[in-house]
Amino acid sequence: MGNELLTWTRHILKKFKLRAVKGLGQNFLIDAGAVRRIVEAAEVGSGDEVLEIGAGIGTLTQELLETGAKVTAVEVDKKLPAVLKETLAGYGNFRLIEGDVLKINLAELMPRKFKVVANLPYYITTQILLTLLEKNLPVTKIVTMVQREVAERMTAAPGSKIYGALSVAVQFRSEPRVAFEVPPENFLPPPEVTSAVVVCDVRKPSFEVDEEFFTRVVRAAFAQRRKTLLNSLTGAGFDKEKILASGIDSKRRAETLSLEEFARLSNFLQGR
């Protein structure tokens, strides 16, 4: 049997005289099984509100709409609304927002509980994830296709080489897990890397901290991975005496600190 979704995608791109724009991270899903599994992983149903980032030609969007969920899609490519008007015609549960997801006020756009489901544009994956997690939005679940290497960083444990600021940000506010991997040939055009779908169940932060200050400490600590905590934190302007008095061995490197230790360090440095 041929790949109907591939044929359909090619047909739509040809009809609208479009080519996937590399600079916008356009890798369209052409595997119906992967699309279905993403929606299943998100456990989306008719009572849900969903934000999709980057609707493309509407492949994942349609699968989401079929569940009966209310779907808001943000798409930056000015050529795509005309396409989506055709591919998603007839769905009363769809709303399209034209613009850059990093510039839109998401708190205003999605004031009630919502889930995020997206095949993310890879050039801004980290910024999008940090925006979703750090802005205190009423988001309950984030299901995203990312590069496998990013999925590994999101779920990395302290002590591992890839544990970094992204791991801390994600794990501080959610329970992330890799749901499944997706090979390059499931996209048109195929990306250069293997991808993975990560499910993040968002919850309250693990420890009580001033989140802005905590984020500054974590980013400063990881800014130069090979340096000791003392060097990276003093380099970023934190007080040397306080670092030494914090109770955390300042000769350690950031990648060895657990979330709890980062929280303790942040609270101590801030005098909380």
Binding site for ligand SAM (CB under 6 A): 24-29, 53-56, 59-60, 74-77, 100-102, 119, 121, 124
Among residues 121 and 176, whose Cβ is nearest to ligand SAM? 121
Q: What is the DSSP string of 212-259?
A: HHHHHHHHHHHHTTTS-HHHHHHHTT--HHHHHHSSS-TTS-GGG--H
Closest separation in Å from C-beta 129 to ligand SAM = 13
Measured CA to CA, the distance from residue 138 to residue 4 in angstroms comes to 37
Closest separation in Å from C-beta 101 to ligand SAM = 4
Residue 102 CB: number of other CB atoms within 10 A? 13
Closest separation in Å from C-beta 224 to ligand SAM = 29
Closest separation in Å from C-beta 186 to ligand SAM = 10
DSSP letter for 209, please: -
Instruction: Look at the alpha carbons of 160, 255, 148, 50 in this order and tell me if their dihedral is positive or negative.
Output: positive
Sheet architecture: strand order including 174-182: 94-98, 70-75, 49-53, 114-119, 139-147, 195-202, 174-182
Among residues 118 and 229, whose Cβ is nearest to ligand SAM? 118
Among residues 52 and 261, whose Cβ is nearest to ligand SAM? 52
Closest separation in Å from C-beta 5 to ligand SAM = 9
Among residues 60 and 143, whose Cβ is nearest to ligand SAM? 60
User: Which amino acid makes up residue 134?
Assistant: E
End-to-end Cα spacing for the chain: 63
Measured CA to CA, the distance from residue 94 to residue 89 in angstroms comes to 9
Q: Which residue number has the CB closest to ligand SAM?
A: 54
E strand or H helix at 75, and its extent?
strand 70-75
Closest separation in Å from C-beta 85 to ligand SAM = 15
Among residues 4 and 208, whose Cβ is nearest to ligand SAM? 4
Among residues 51 and 269, whose Cβ is nearest to ligand SAM? 51
